[in-house]
Chains A and B, each alone.
Chain A
Amino acid sequence: MKNSLKVLRAERDWSQADLAERLGVSRQTVNALETGKYDPSLPLAFKIAHLFDRLIEDIFDPEEIASSEESRRTG
């Protein structure tokens, strides 16, 4: 799933380690989230949205979910 986590983090001049500490996760998790290799749980998505004072759908792209689900169905 695409997301704007990297942009939001860069706007605040935070390192991945800074963001990881604020979210209470490991730096590996932040990296996996930013590269789209890992989709966060709902509680973590809410935590991220709260931290950046945005809505979840402003950070995570639901269009990307729909297109990936569609491509999975069609094979």
Chain B
Amino acid sequence: MSNSESPGARQFPRVGKNWIRLLSAALLFLLVSGVAWSLAPSSRALIPVTLLSLVPLGIVIAVFVRMLRQTDELARRIASEALVLSFVATIAAMIVYPFLETAGFPAIRPDIVIFLLAGLFSVGVAIFSRRYE
């Protein structure tokens, strides 16, 4: 093998940097949305802070799309399948859970959706990666 750097070899360190960006933006989003959550409904800062939380969320989306573009086609397929799983399962849970709430299950915070999406996406990546091993 030659020591010259191929395009494929360059891809993976950049993915690592993107993970740091993604996690930083996600943490920032959680921080700002946490501040918005703690504000009183009558607070004048509620609308600006809530809108401000959209900025890190936008960064999360941009970095995620960039990460998908930089990975190879199999990784893109696995990510797409995992995204479908996480979205469909989350939508199903959001439809079913209100019925369970009326049956006595505890009420959940709406921002649990983010963790559900992320968790199911991770599970989906693990499941679909095994299919191609």
Residues of A within 8 A of B (CB): 18, 20-26, 28-29, 31-32, 37-38, 40-41, 44
Contacts and interface: CB of A to CB of B under 8 A. Distances in A.
Contacts of A32: 74, 132-133
Interface of B: 1, 6-9, 11-12, 71-75, 77, 129, 131-133
A44 B12 CA distance: 18
**Chain A interface main SS type:** helix
B52 to A, nearest CB: 37
Contacts of B75: 26, 28-29
21 contacts: A18-B1, A21-B8, A22-B6, A24-B7, A24-B8, A24-B72, A25-B73, A26-B8, A26-B12, A26-B71, A26-B72, A26-B74, A28-B133, A29-B73, A29-B74, A31-B133, A32-B133, A37-B132, A38-B74, A38-B132, A44-B73
Given A18-B1, A20-B8, A25 B132 contact: no
Point out which of B1, B72, B131 has the most chain A C-beta atoms below 10 A from its C-beta: B72
